[in-house]
Structure 1
């Protein structure tokens, strides 16, 4: 198809005089869009750069249209920009549009055309999602950047400890936050020389994490004072409260608290047919960062609810699997391993299941009841 200039495109589309439907397949460097008229006929298909300037040039000259795009790296800012230009931007859940993701004939042009035809039939077929605001995305980026530093520090600490053990030596006992070059003083000279840069880097990363902690505390005091209400919940601190608030952003868009638990991934799968209704595992389709932090207050509650776990809480809490387990069988096996008492283990799993739901309920009720200052 012959490439049209912006002026020619505007003249062609303005002649239609009716609302158009557009499918926009986003790419990292370039994207592809397809324009359909009310009869479903293709008016034009073209490629454009994935930049704010190119988006404004093409869609700013287009009459108000319904534009469908898939979730991805660029979908938050593109959808906000399209809305500012007066269009109705519908962001499709990429995992739910299997007609595109699992197609054997897949390219940018076909994907854009498929998006346009699906949104023209019924937008609900795309399982539309709502992106958070630019302000909330920027604040959540601070939390994600801190989490990246924590993962980096964990990797460096594990590397340093593993290398020393292979020499039959050990670093001085301390947690990751207290890991400093002094922890390697008792090592042999050659090993100390090899690990010195890593130890300095661990100390530097810990300082940067502390800077992020101070920034988050300041952000909570000045811009999110309602987080103090959520921090009254046992096991919930500034990081969990702020992450929860920024993930939901608007609690009033959920009808009830159980909907928020499903939103963050605490929802079992479902595959019922006829008389068959098997029990499925939790989907974990929510934000992985938020979901992992939601398990931490749950872990503390399980320990308080179960005497057997309290006796070995230190060893049990140190295991990464304990924080990540969401299925009943996995937690039951670990609880029984550490308690040696099946009754105590069953009590622990019941407490864990209840704690997962109750924490989400309490966070939602506290967030919804807190007076908004923004």
Structure 2
């Protein structure tokens, strides 16, 4: 394919964004072509009937020529490597959660219950290792294997956190983002790695909409209908910001003076998760301003 593009005059090349798209976009761009990546969700509306390679190519050509089309930025190898670090950590956390849930479910069958969260998982591992009398020997041996898996994954997560903390310390943008309430080193690095070029968003609300934190609309004429949050865009970043603001809400309940009156009033009228989503959308705007304008919090 690269041989074909070598013999073509510089032209516009449209591609659907996928796992291998950044590599091919960089390779084709090196041959003086203008490569633009399009989200498959934005290509789909141009599909007419049957799906074939020729039909897909025609649809992409139609989509890439639209003046209002939004394109996916092409990541550099360094940006991809940084994003891979945070995705690897997410994989480790998911594996730990699965192992803890497995142990919790098996122990509950023997009438052994503990608290949820990391504290509860530590209690479960301790019960398994300390010779719980309610557990048969065979069950104890099998659960010890699960406990070993949990501890091994936790050690890997700790190593990744230390490595990511070093990366964050060297990045001036991450050091500024850490000052945002609820944003820690891992969250700051993830936002930098997965958000791409923030200047392509016209405002903080555009960035919040890109993360799916703004409500859907089904409006017509003078009738305005506002629905639930759209959940569009990058799920990891959306979940990250919402969970970060949930932690802020938990701290606010124990120390109300340290949070804005806007949040306190909202907490009186709305459920915690709704408040967290509203705070996450506002935080997305703050992050956009800090990264595009170089502002400090």
**Scaled by the length of structure 1, what TM-score is found?**
0.67
Name the SS for the 1:131 alignment partner: coil
Name the SS for the 1:67 alignment partner: strand
- Does residue 77 of structure 2 align to residue 134 of structure 1? yes
**In 2, distance between residues paired with 1:370 and 1:160?**
47
**In 2, distance between residues paired with 1:221 and 1:255?**
29
Shift of 1:58: 2.2
- Gap change, CA 1:146 and 1:86, over 3 Å in 2: same
Match of 1:98 in 2: 44
Match of 1:291 in 2: 238
* Equivalent residue runs for 1:45-194 within 5 Å: 55-99=1-45, 103-119=48-64, 122-124=65-67, 126-170=69-113, 175=119, 178=122, 181-184=125-128, 185-187=130-132, 188=135, 189-194=137-142
Unpaired runs of 5+ residues, structure 1, are 1-54, 311-341
**In 1, distance between residues paired with 2:212 and 2:223?**
24
Give the total of aligned pairs: 281
Name the SS for the 1:226 alignment partner: helix
The more displaced of 275-284 and 237-246 is 275-284
Bigger radius of gyration among the two: 1
Runs of 4+ residues over 6 Å off in structure 1: none
Unpaired runs of 5+ residues, structure 2, are 257-265
Does the CA-based 8 Å contact 2:92-2:153 persist in structure 1?
yes
Structure 1 or 2: more helix by fraction = 2
Alignment counterpart, residue 270 of structure 2, candidates 322, 346, 355: 346
Does the CA-based 8 Å contact 1:264-1:287 persist in structure 2?
yes
- Residues 309-331 of structure 1, C-alpha deviations (whole Å, 9 max, x = no match): 98xxxxxxxxxxxxxxxxxxxxx
The more displaced of 354-363 and 144-153 is 354-363
Alignment counterpart, residue 264 of structure 1, candidates 187, 198, 211: 211
- Residues 199-250 of structure 1, C-alpha deviations (whole Å, 9 max, x = no match): 111111111111110110111123x133111111221100111111222333
- Does residue 148 of structure 2 align to residue 200 of structure 1? yes
Match of 1:300 in 2: 247
Shift of 1:301: 3.1
Match of 1:243 in 2: 190
**In 2, distance between residues paired with 1:205 and 1:352?**
29
**In 1, distance between residues paired with 2:158 and 2:237?**
20
**Scaled by the length of structure 2, what TM-score is found?**
0.83
Highest RCO, 1 vs 2 (Cα 8 Å, sep ≥ 6): 2
- Gap change, CA 1:72 and 1:192, over 3 Å in 2: same
